Amino acid sequence: MSQEELKAAVMGVMEAFTKNPEAAKVVYRSKTELVENLRCKGTIRNFDPYTIDEPKDFGGGDAGPSPVEFLCMILGACQEILYAAYAASMDIKLDECKIDVKGNIDFRGCLGMDDNTPPGFSKIELVTHIKSSASEEALSQLVNAVEGRCPIYDSLIRPVEVVDEVFINGVKK
């Protein structure tokens, strides 16, 4: 898809959502299933299943990325997708956009070894590399647009309601 086609697609979606704001409210779904030991299978829409596992050092089979690695990856990918979409809508040509994501986690919290240690990330760092011939001002506007609107980034920094239902042997707990 050319930059012009991407811009038309992005602008078309924005126009459709302006006319019908309810259409902008989307529900995403995925399913996971424990396959063996720590290995899981994840499915999203009609894509081939994803394998999620833990490294051998953590008792897994290292058959695929771990859940926390996927989280880091999807944060970077979400930002890159927004960079492409906003760049197209702002008529900015991106020659390159790469993001390195690093997440710091102390697994003592996850394993219940230390009640004072949170089970999740204590810090996530993103290093974004952009190459473009656009002006510094235009690129600064692009960065501000992406950093303020990335849904994955926002979901990580803002409290989000998580509703959890558990069924044991078919009975809701």
Task: Please tell me the predicted confidence (pLDDT) of residue 142.
Answer: 97
Higher pLDDT: 3 or 101? It is 101
For 114-136, the pLDDT digits (tens) are: 999 999 999 999 999 999 999 99
**Of 39, 5, 28, 122, whose CA–CA distance to 74 is shortest?**
28
Instruction: Calculate the CA 12 to chain-centre distance.
Output: 24
**Of 76, 58, 68, 72, whose CA–CA distance to 102 is shortest?**
72
pLDDT at 147 over 90: no
pLDDT at 3 over 90: no
On whether the CB atoms of residues 55 and 49 are closer than 8 A, the answer is no
For 15-52, the pLDDT digits (tens) are: 999 999 999 999 999 999 999 999 999 999 999 999 99
pLDDT at 1 over 90: no
Average confidence score pLDDT of the chain: 96
Q: State pTM to two decimals.
A: 0.91
Determine phi and psi for 88, rounding to 5 degrees.
Answer: -60, -45
Can you tell me the distance from the alpha carbon of 75 to that of 147, in angstroms, rounded to the nearest whole number? 11
pLDDT at 148 over 90: no
CATH class as words, domain 71-173: alpha beta
- How distant, in Å, are the alpha carbons of 82, 93, 153 from that of 90? 12, 9, 21
